[in-house]
Amino acid sequence: MIGPSTKRSSQTQFAAQGEPMVWLSGGMFAIACLMILSLLAFVLWQGLSTLWPRNYSIYGRTDGSLIAGELYSKEVVDGLSKLYLRTGNYDVSNQHFAYVSGAELIDDQPWSDPDLWALERREWGNLYGFPKALSWTNCEPGQFAKEVSVGMLETARIDQQLAQAKDELKRADQGISKARLGVRRVELAQKIDLQSAIDSGVVDGLDPRAKAAVEHLAECTRRAEEMMIGINQRIGELEQKRSERSILLELPIAQELGTIPLDWAELSNGKLSDPEALAKLLGVEFGGQAPQIRASSMGQDQYLCKIGFAEQPFRRILVRRAEGTNCVISGLQEHSILLADVVRFFEPNGLGLLGRFGVYASRWWEFLTGAPREAGMEGGFFPAIWGTVVMTILMSMAVMPFGVLAALYMREYARSGWLLSAIRISINNLAGVPSIVYGVFGLSFFCYIVGGYIDGGPVKAGFEPWPSAVWFSALAVLSVVGLAAFAVSVLSGQAEARRSGFRSTLRWAGGLLWLATLMGIAWLLIRSPHFQGFYQAQLPTPTFGKGCLLWAALTLALLTLPVVIVATEEALSAVPNSLREGSYACGAGKWQTIHRIVLPYARPGIITGFILAMARGAGEVAPMMLVGAIPLATELPLDTEFPFLHGSRSFMHLGFQIYSLGFQSQNSEAAKPMVFTATLLLLAIVTLLNQTAIWLRARLRKRFQTSQF
């Protein structure tokens, strides 16, 4: 018989073994993994499916019109279907997407024509329609695709020549701009007005340097004007060639033409009782021969027909039964598009699986290597990818030395005390400051103060320069303070150890003097009357006094600095003291021990901090909105043009592009697919950078472990 004491003992033993906590912790771990996997699966599904080519279906409405589009979703509400279609043809329909209720449709089963084309354009999104005629050749409808492919190759060569001509035009304009900047620099240096001399043609009485600048500007202008005449003529000829090639399409938009008697039974069998009346309605000549006709049912009492009269291109009409034997005839709206505006074309309803994969791969290649189209809703994301990678690398190069050295000093050199504790608490608090605060600081300090100082000196940065006498007097005082700081530092190092109080006082005094010296140097710089900026000639257009790549990288370096410091300190504290003591016992000094023993042992942990900082900095958006990221950049921050890395340029950033497309585009619903694809790409880039750092950390750890034996 089991008594109460035995039961309590078994329950106590069960709780003591920790079974409930094991199941609870395991359940929490499973929930966390499920949340992460669900998020990744959702982003993968949405991001990977965006560029997959879908069928384009045509539906007949009860009012006799047509609605067509790619079916994105279909819901059933109260027994009625509700379709969500991507319609395309935005320049004609003024909508990218449409919601259609099943009650509006004759039949919710779509009609797909394999002859329909999808044309991806540089502007206005995709165009869907039936090709009717080509402006540069006469060919059979079955040869349209071949002729368009040949025409696109020729147009690509014309576009390449146009790009070269426009690049020459840009270089000529840059030559004039540089010459004008030279004139402006001379004006600022000599405080004269050369513009009046240029306008009046009086050059002989000027200073030799000013005269040389004016003559150089005149020569550059003359050469540029001669070049521009020929270049503009060449551009005009190329533009004329581009405009000679166009495609005429019939869009799935019905336009009522009139009513004629028509036998419904004959029409369904591909015949016409009165083809002459239909030809007259369509405005074509009837040669007496029976037309070719293919009628496809769009639902009850409605057909979409393809009709070809003798020596006439095929026409598509919508036939809808009216009262008696009368039928309403509606033609499809015609629309012309320049071949130069076409990026790619294909027949979405006639593609097999292999063909769909080909279009899918082509779209991904354009997405990864091309420039954006339609304000980022179409085309490629290469500028955003490149800007994100370059900014992340610059941020890492800025944050790692400062973070590691700061942590190294606090852990290995600084004495424990209230000041060091306060600094550590401040660093930990900085890690929790909202990122937008760093963005505001970067905008006000880096862009307006530091950037303004670089551009136009103290005045542009918002400071009034001191008179020369006051400035040189302050410089002399600062020199004395600097010498005193150096002398006190030397004395503190030579003071006897037994006089610890005196030595501590000297160290405090030396630190304060050095701090005063540094602050004085900074104050003299911002009050200097002898510095007018490096880019004063380009003002009022700022060079560094605005958001740019350099300030964005430094702002994010400040944001991620606490992460690097904390991780580096933890890595340094994990190094066993026995290793340090063994090094000291062998006669090594402080720095030799740190360099040879501590840093190699802590290197994997330091790289862990680098990984965390890089992952956080690459995905930040709020600071980017203020210090350099823009929705569309025409130039890359790193290219083949000298000086190759352009820190003063604004740039595109994937995180900012996601925000811009999702919340600031004209049609956020149309941009939503690209938002998921850009999110997937950002995750992939961050993962790739992290995996590279993890691989490097593993190699370093393995090398250190091997070198111990």
| Tens-place pLDDT, residues 200-245 | 655 555 667 777 777 777 777 778 878 888 888 888 888 888 888 8
HSE, side-chain direction, 13 A CA sphere, residue 235: 15
Work out the pLDDT band at 501, boundaries 50, 70, 90.
Answer: low
Q: Give the mean pLDDT of 672-681.
A: 86
pLDDT in tens, 689-706: 778 877 877 777 776 665
The 10 Å CB-count burial string (b at 16+, else e) for 283-319 is ebebeeeebebebeebbeebbbbbbebeeeebbbbbb
* pLDDT over 60 at 497, yes or no: no
CB-CB contact of 535 with 544 (8 Å): yes
Which two structure tokens, joined as six digits, stand for 516? 């005063």
pLDDT in tens, 648-670: 899 999 888 888 888 877 777 77
For residue 195, the cross-strand partners are none
What CATH class does 383-465+528-707 carry?
mainly alpha
pLDDT at residue 7, as a whole number: 52
- Reduce the DSSP state of residue 632 to 3 states and report it: coil
The 10 Å CB-count burial string (b at 16+, else e) for 331-368 is bbbbbebbbbbbbebbbbbebeeeebeebeebbeebbe
Which two structure tokens, joined as six digits, stand for 78? 């109260």
Q: Round to whole Å and give the CA distance between 95 and 86.
A: 9
For residue 331, the cross-strand partners are 255, 317
- Residue 535: exposed, middle, or buried by beta-carbon count in 10 A (0-12, 13-18, 19+)? buried
Q: What Rg do the C-alpha atoms of the chain give, in angstroms? A: 37
Q: Give the mean pLDDT of 353-373.
A: 90
Q: Give the mean pLDDT of 109-131.
A: 86
Please give the share of the chain, as a percent, with pLDDT higher than 70.
Answer: 92
Tracing tokens 């869907």 back to the chain, one arrives at 128
pLDDT at residue 15, as a whole number: 59
* pLDDT over 70 at 494, yes or no: no
Q: Give the mean pLDDT of 72-92.
A: 82
Q: Give the mean pLDDT of 367-386.
A: 85
- Reduce the DSSP state of residue 564 to 3 states and report it: helix
Q: Which amino acid is at 590?
A: K
HSE, side-chain direction, 13 A CA sphere, residue 76: 2
Q: Round to whole Å and give the CA distance between 531 and 1.
A: 99
* pLDDT over 60 at 18, yes or no: yes
- Residue 59: exposed, middle, or buried by beta-carbon count in 10 A (0-12, 13-18, 19+)? buried
pLDDT at residue 550, as a whole number: 93
Q: Give the mean pLDDT of 189-206.
A: 63
- Residue 130: exposed, middle, or buried by beta-carbon count in 10 A (0-12, 13-18, 19+)? buried
- Residues 6 or more apart in contact with residue 176 via CB below 8 angstroms: 217, 220, 221, 224
- Reduce the DSSP state of residue 663 to 3 states and report it: helix
pLDDT in tens, 436-482: 999 999 999 999 999 988 988 888 888 888 888 888 998 999 899 88
Q: What is the 3-state secondary structure (H, E, C) of 126-140?
A: EEEEEEEEECCCCCC
Task: Output the average pLDDT for the chain.
Answer: 83
pLDDT in tens, 307-353: 888 777 788 888 888 777 788 888 888 899 999 889 999 999 888 88
Q: What is the DSSP letter of 537?
A: G
CB-CB contact of 675 with 658 (8 Å): yes
Residue with the larger pLDDT of the pair 4 and 363? 363
Q: What is the DSSP string of 262-288?
A: --HHHHHTT--S-HHHHHHHHT----S
pLDDT in tens, 581-610: 888 888 888 888 888 888 888 888 888 888
Which two structure tokens, joined as six digits, stand for 317? 């009409």
pLDDT at residue 273, as a whole number: 78
* pLDDT over 70 at 39, yes or no: yes
Q: Round to whole Å and give the CA distance between 166 and 159.
A: 10
pLDDT at residue 19, as a whole number: 72
Closest CA to 117 of 56, 27, 185, 205: 56
pLDDT at residue 265, as a whole number: 80
pLDDT at residue 552, as a whole number: 93
pLDDT in tens, 132-176: 888 888 877 778 888 888 888 888 898 888 888 888 888 888 887
Which two structure tokens, joined as six digits, stand for 52? 């997959």
pLDDT in tens, 519-575: 999 888 888 888 888 888 788 888 898 889 999 999 999 999 998 999 898 888 888
- Residues 6 or more apart in contact with residue 194 via CB below 8 angstroms: 183, 186, 187, 206, 210, 213, 214
For residue 390, the cross-strand partners are none
Q: Give the mean pLDDT of 407-419.
A: 85
Which two structure tokens, joined as six digits, stand for 660? 């811009």
pLDDT in tens, 259-272: 888 888 888 888 88
CA 622-625-631 angle, 5° bins: 130
Supply the pTM of this predicted model: 0.82
Which two structure tokens, joined as six digits, stand for 180? 């004008």
Q: Round to whole Å and give the CA distance between 224 and 33.
A: 64
Closest CA to 451 of 539, 386, 387: 539
The count of other CB atoms within 10 Å of the CB of residue 153 is 10
Instruction: List the end-to-end C-alpha distance of the chain, in Å, as a whole number.
Output: 63
pLDDT at residue 553, as a whole number: 93
* pLDDT over 50 at 709, yes or no: no
